[in-house]
Amino acid sequence: MERRRFLEVAGAAGIGVAAGCAPSSGERLLPYVNESDDLIPGIPEFYASTCRECPAGCGILVKTREARAIKVEGNPLHPIGHGKLCARGQAALQGLYDPDRLKQPYRHTARGMEPVTWDEAIQQVATALGAAEASGADRVALVTGADSGVLDAFYDEWLAAFRSHRRLRYEAFAYEPLREASRLTFGVAAVPEFDFASAQYVLSFGADFLETWLSPVEYARQFAEAHRYRDGRMARFVAVEPRRGLTAFSADEWIAPKPGTEGLLALGIAAGVVRQGKAVLAGGEADRVRGFLARFTSRSVADATGVAEDVIDRVAREFAAAKPSLAVAGGVASQHRAATQTAAAVNLLNYVAGNVGRTVRFHAASPWDKVSRYRDAAAWVAAMNAGAVDVALVHGTNPAFTLPATAGFADAFRKVRLKVAFASHLDETAELCDLVLPDLTPLEQWSAVEPAAGVRSFVQPAMTPVFDGARQTADVLLAIAARAGKAVGKGATSARELVAAGMTPAALEQALQHGGAFVPAPAEPVRLVPDFARVTYQAPAFDGDGGPEALVLVAYPSASLFDGRGANKGWLQELPDVATKIAWQSWVEVHPDTARRLGVANGDVVTVTSPHGRVEAPVYVYPGVRRDVVAMPIGQGHTAYGRNARNRGVNPLALLGADATDVSGALAFCSTHVTLAKTGRTVPLATTEGSARQLGRGIARAVSLAGALRGEVEPGPEATLTDAERTAVAAAAASQRARANIGVYAKANPKWEMTVDLSRCTGCQACVTACYAENNLPVVGEQQTLRHRGMAWIRLERYYEGDTAGTDWQVRQIPMLCQQCENAPCEPVCPVYAAYHTPDGLNGQVYNRCVGTRYCANNCPYKVRYFNWWDYGRDGDPYFSFAEPLNWQLNPDVTVRTKGVMEKCTFCVQRIRYAQNDAKVRKRDLADGDITPACAQTCPAEAIVFGDAHDPGSWVSRLKEDARGYYALGMLNTKPGITYLERVIADGEA
């Protein structure tokens, strides 16, 4: 396979407007020396690999053009994700092409970072390792992220060659309470496999399974399958957490217990199930469980949790009646000192309801088994403090950022004689290291991981490394071992050979084509251990003053930035938080009543003080937190890690106590009281929020399950039009459309339309980032976001519905993108026909015609047209968005727009034209499903369906006939090409 660069056009790398045919421009065309076996310029190639942006390990296909990765999509053959991907997975490309990546090895000296050669670096490490080995056992530490499979085993072998077993697989979010609770209740220290798809009732105790929890893409896919409304059926979802986040936006009911009492509530519900005689238990076990749960009466639980008694009884009744149901726990935001007890209580709840073995399944091995606990990381810090570590090698993890400041990591780390970072980016940990060795990103690497039982998932390079100076860590470790005279890796000389070891070439090829080898893993039956009662509930302690006005800090993982590793990627920074709609910043969520009491409003900067530290951040007044809770997202507050992350926002981990752990040895992220004090300063919030209320416009509609079963829908304002009004607007529409037409309508044409099922959409925003990747959308930055000049062609709108004073209110979310109106307000106002109607039903936008009057955007009622205020694609512009090599990611099929041009969604018209041309040359007809816009392709919930509405058999044609279908702002008679299907809310007792 030769993959030399082709068509490297000197000067303009696909950006901007060209000067037409100008032979004097001096552009050069470089041919291949040897033709590639499989590369055809202009035709994309796909490489199956595995996403490594979080430990979940979704299967991906990397789309390459001319040997450059330009898009990441899910691998439909892969059992994790099934062809879907989240925003973080989509943004892996921005890690690959980050201009701030490490490009060569460096040595930290008193004078700063100095370049060294690889040979010098390898020699220095080998020498230090030799000395460390000579001075005793376990004096070398190798710290990686969650890892599994062949390279993980190699790391252990490599470390053992230097007489050390000090290996850490450090993850900030390691879900220790889940493992420990499984051990305490079932005798299996494993994270179970959850089956959301077949659950008829989902009860989540703080598990953000649609955001970051364990395997969010796969769970979102499964959850949507269960929770969507079809044929009069849907699962009910009740979210139990003190802060309502993205996951709980999909909930049919939100229950906000006192922080720390989730486990008690779970026991109360389990007791209710038993008391109502619905427990799936027999014999002595039933007696033991009944005896244990007897003391958790609804009254006592209601008193302690603040959840009404009748709610507890009702949830118990519903949970037991649904066969099967599913309860989950263990989200990071609710990881307090009683987190293991909460998870154990939820295990018991699942057990009494008969879910264990059905929706909760255990396997002999789980990928989380070997992930280190926070306690192990703390022990490593103590060992370094004690001078027991001579050489520390850190790879693929950033403890300097994700350990709480009070853990004293930096000071302990400095005591290590030689600290080596194997990192693709200069993060906080790498900044502390003596040697910084540039690593390849996962899109350039070889590996094989085991993200779930029975899944051997391969990681293969989709392209040659972006920077020649970077090397894969396993390759470097092999070189170091060779220099030190150690024989490791069973004769392998590279990571590729390690991965391929023991496989025939044919088997390897097969695995690489499919993304891996997948065999169904049998579930192991488990029983309740006899002494399950030893994990009983106890109220967790919170550091700090717990007076009547005390506020509990909930530090929650950002859905886009995860544990902070997403913060260097512009696409993720610009992705607004779903709840607050804030991008690029940190904030403190405060309940409206609490804000009133404290006298603070949106944007007021407050000092958040805990017994362990203080940070300053602006307030966002949010009804989705309890009055006694303030919430802050984890992920910002980097002091290094590239231009997008550095010196941006604050890190709430600075407020946590390093000794706050639960019995599993997990860090208690929710363990401290804080006080808020006004600083008197106010900063503008970079929010994309417009109105938080729909104000009768009927944009995002929902109907109750009972209503849907009766065939009812939520009417919109168009229902108030009289017949005369209807006739008049229809006539005006027809004449307006006639004037706007310049397309060829004589022949039969397809009509491209879309449906968005709001009963599936979870608001995860994977579509938004996929659109950035596909359509060359610029990242405009915080300043332009503050001026509402973001360029996201598709955005998630969030509205509150109901009285937000209590917990009985709903969130309405709707993806808003160009509606491709048949009677489009934008078209007739364009003086130059840049906005026009295509024969196949799109609102075409011809960038080279556009003169930038912005009349179209003014006239668009959906506000989905975006103006280029700056030359985001021109080097030298103050808001240049594609600094080399970020421009390598640009989709060659899509024009990069220039300053003064209006742009918008066109249903990925480049994909439509590609498929149409491809079908023509192959002499076949397009089939339904041949064309998938980037948003629909990645949607984990499969909420978005695209197709030809003129084909009565197409999926989209059938869906748009659904009784729940409506047009957003339909009363304007725009005749949109997008039909939204009303969300169905399973409120009330089913």
Which among 39-47, 232-240, 464-472, 509-517 is the span making contact with another protein, rule CB under 8 A?
39-47
The residue assigned the tokens 């220790």 is 176
Please say which residue, 487 or 921, places its beta carbon nearer to another protein.
921
Which among 21-29, 211-219, 312-320, 823-831 is the span making contact with another protein, rule CB under 8 A?
21-29
Please say which residue, 333 or 901, places its beta carbon nearer to another protein.
901
For residue 33, state whether it binds another protein (rule: CB under 8 A). Answer: yes
Which among 53-61, 414-422, 439-447, 894-902 is the span making contact with another protein, rule CB under 8 A?
894-902
**Smallest separation, CB 971 to another protein (Å):** 29
Please say which residue, 14 or 940, places its beta carbon nearer to another protein.
14
Which among 41-49, 378-386, 597-605, 965-973 is the span making contact with another protein, rule CB under 8 A?
41-49
Q: Looking at residues 843 to 872 of the shown chain, list those that interact with another protein (rule: CB under 8 A).
A: 844, 846-849
Please say which residue, 483 or 737, places its beta carbon nearer to another protein.
737
Please say which residue, 892 or 965, places its beta carbon nearer to another protein.
892
Find the Cα–Cα–Cα–Cα dihedral 968, 971, 976, 978, rounded to 10°.
Answer: 30
Q: Is 911 exposed, middle or buried (0-12, 13-18, 19+ CB in 10 A)?
A: buried
**Smallest separation, CB 21 to another protein (Å):** 5
Q: Are 752 and 948 in contact (CB under 8 A)?
A: yes
Amino acid symbol at 169: R
**Smallest separation, CB 974 to another protein (Å):** 20
**Smallest separation, CB 875 to another protein (Å):** 15
For residue 487, state whether it binds another protein (rule: CB under 8 A). Answer: no
DSSP state for residue 244 in the 8-state scheme: -
Please say which residue, 710 or 922, places its beta carbon nearer to another protein.
922
The residue assigned the tokens 């009285």 is 803
Q: What are phi and psi of 586, to 5 degrees?
A: -105, 160
Q: Residue 967 contacts by C-beta under 8 Å, 6 or more apart in sequence?
A: 718, 819, 974, 975, 976, 978, 979, 980
For residue 27, state whether it binds another protein (rule: CB under 8 A). Answer: yes
For residue 31, state whether it binds another protein (rule: CB under 8 A). Answer: yes
DSSP state for residue 12 in the 8-state scheme: -
- Beta-bridge mates of residue 395: 144, 422
What residue spans of 437-501 are helical by DSSP H?
Answer: 473-483, 495-500
Q: Are 332 and 667 in contact (CB under 8 A)?
A: no
Q: What are phi and psi of 205, to 5 degrees?
A: -100, 75
Q: Are 968 and 978 in contact (CB under 8 A)?
A: yes
For residue 842, state whether it binds another protein (rule: CB under 8 A). Answer: yes
As given in the structure block, the two tokens for residue 156 are 């252990």
As given in the structure block, the two tokens for residue 716 are 């919109």
Cα–Cα nearest to 52, from 96, 97, 17, 106:
96
As a whole number of angstroms, the distance between CA 350 and CA 94 comes to 41
For residue 887, state whether it binds another protein (rule: CB under 8 A). Answer: no
For residue 819, state whether it binds another protein (rule: CB under 8 A). Answer: no
Q: Are 404 and 612 in contact (CB under 8 A)?
A: yes
Near another protein by CB under 8 A: residue from 546, 691, 917, 963:
917
**Smallest separation, CB 887 to another protein (Å):** 13
Near another protein by CB under 8 A: residue from 42, 711, 715, 806:
42
Q: For 658, what's the count of Cα atoms within 13 Å in the CB-facing half-sphere?
A: 17
Positive or negative torsion for Cα 480, 482, 488, 492: positive
**Smallest separation, CB 777 to another protein (Å):** 14
For residue 838, state whether it binds another protein (rule: CB under 8 A). Answer: yes
Strands (E), 750-861: 752-757, 795-801, 810-816, 835-837, 843-845
For residue 21, state whether it binds another protein (rule: CB under 8 A). Answer: yes
**Smallest separation, CB 262 to another protein (Å):** 50
Q: Looking at residues 923 to 962 of the shown chain, list those that interact with another protein (rule: CB under 8 A).
A: none
For residue 6, state whether it binds another protein (rule: CB under 8 A). Answer: yes
Please say which residue, 493 or 917, places its beta carbon nearer to another protein.
917
Q: Looking at residues 405 to 424 of the shown chain, list those that interact with another protein (rule: CB under 8 A).
A: none
- Beta-bridge mates of residue 866: 903
The residue assigned the tokens 């000579």 is 134
- For residues 586 to 615, the per-residue mask of contacts with another protein, x marking binding by CB under 8 A and - elsewhere, is ------------------------------
Q: Are 682 and 958 in contact (CB under 8 A)?
A: no
Q: Looking at residues 62 to 121 of the shown chain, list those that interact with another protein (rule: CB under 8 A).
A: none
CA-to-CA dists, residue 823 to 113, 530, 730, 961, angstroms: 60, 69, 9, 20
Cα–Cα nearest to 919, from 909, 930, 908:
930
Please say which residue, 133 or 893, places its beta carbon nearer to another protein.
893
For residue 555, state whether it binds another protein (rule: CB under 8 A). Answer: no
**Smallest separation, CB 894 to another protein (Å):** 7
For residue 427, state whether it binds another protein (rule: CB under 8 A). Answer: no
Q: Return the axis-axis angle of helices 262-275 and 298-305, rounded to nearest 10°.
A: 160
**Smallest separation, CB 926 to another protein (Å):** 15
**Smallest separation, CB 822 to another protein (Å):** 16
For residue 7, state whether it binds another protein (rule: CB under 8 A). Answer: yes
Which among 256-264, 332-340, 366-374, 832-840 is the span making contact with another protein, rule CB under 8 A?
832-840
What residue spans of 106-213 are helical by DSSP H?
Answer: 118-134, 149-161, 176-186
For residue 971, state whether it binds another protein (rule: CB under 8 A). Answer: no
As a whole number of angstroms, the distance between CA 453 and CA 432 comes to 36
Please say which residue, 275 or 849, places its beta carbon nearer to another protein.
849
Near another protein by CB under 8 A: residue from 546, 913, 929, 989:
913
Please say which residue, 20 or 505, places its beta carbon nearer to another protein.
20
For residue 832, state whether it binds another protein (rule: CB under 8 A). Answer: no
**Smallest separation, CB 15 to another protein (Å):** 8
As a whole number of angstroms, the distance between CA 238 and CA 222 comes to 16
Near another protein by CB under 8 A: residue from 43, 153, 732, 963:
43
What residue spans of 403-450 are helical by DSSP H?
Answer: 409-414, 428-432
Please say which residue, 15 or 794, places its beta carbon nearer to another protein.
15
For residue 17, state whether it binds another protein (rule: CB under 8 A). Answer: yes
The residue assigned the tokens 């092999």 is 478
As a whole number of angstroms, the distance between CA 309 and CA 859 comes to 52
Kindly state the number of chain residues that form the binding site for another protein, as judged by CB under 8 A: 59
Q: What is the largest CA-CA distance in the chain?
A: 93
For residue 922, state whether it binds another protein (rule: CB under 8 A). Answer: yes
Which among 188-196, 404-412, 792-800, 902-910 is the span making contact with another protein, rule CB under 8 A?
902-910
For residue 920, state whether it binds another protein (rule: CB under 8 A). Answer: yes
Near another protein by CB under 8 A: residue from 22, 487, 695, 738:
22
Near another protein by CB under 8 A: residue from 213, 219, 532, 836:
836
Q: Is the peptide bond before 324 cis (omega within 30 degrees of 0)?
A: yes
The residue assigned the tokens 């395997």 is 215
Kind of pairing, strands 865-867 and 106-109?
unpaired
What residue spans of 492-624 are helical by DSSP H?
Answer: 495-500, 505-514, 570-573, 592-598
Q: Looking at residues 730 to 759 of the shown chain, list those that interact with another protein (rule: CB under 8 A).
A: 743-744
As a whole number of angstroms, the distance between CA 905 and CA 842 comes to 10
Near another protein by CB under 8 A: residue from 909, 945, 969, 986:
909
Please say which residue, 26 or 878, places its beta carbon nearer to another protein.
26
Q: Are 639 and 620 in contact (CB under 8 A)?
A: no
Interacting residues with another protein (CB under 8 A): 2, 4, 6-7, 9, 12, 14-38, 40-43, 743-744, 836, 838-840, 842, 844, 846-849, 893-896, 906, 909-910, 913, 917, 920-922
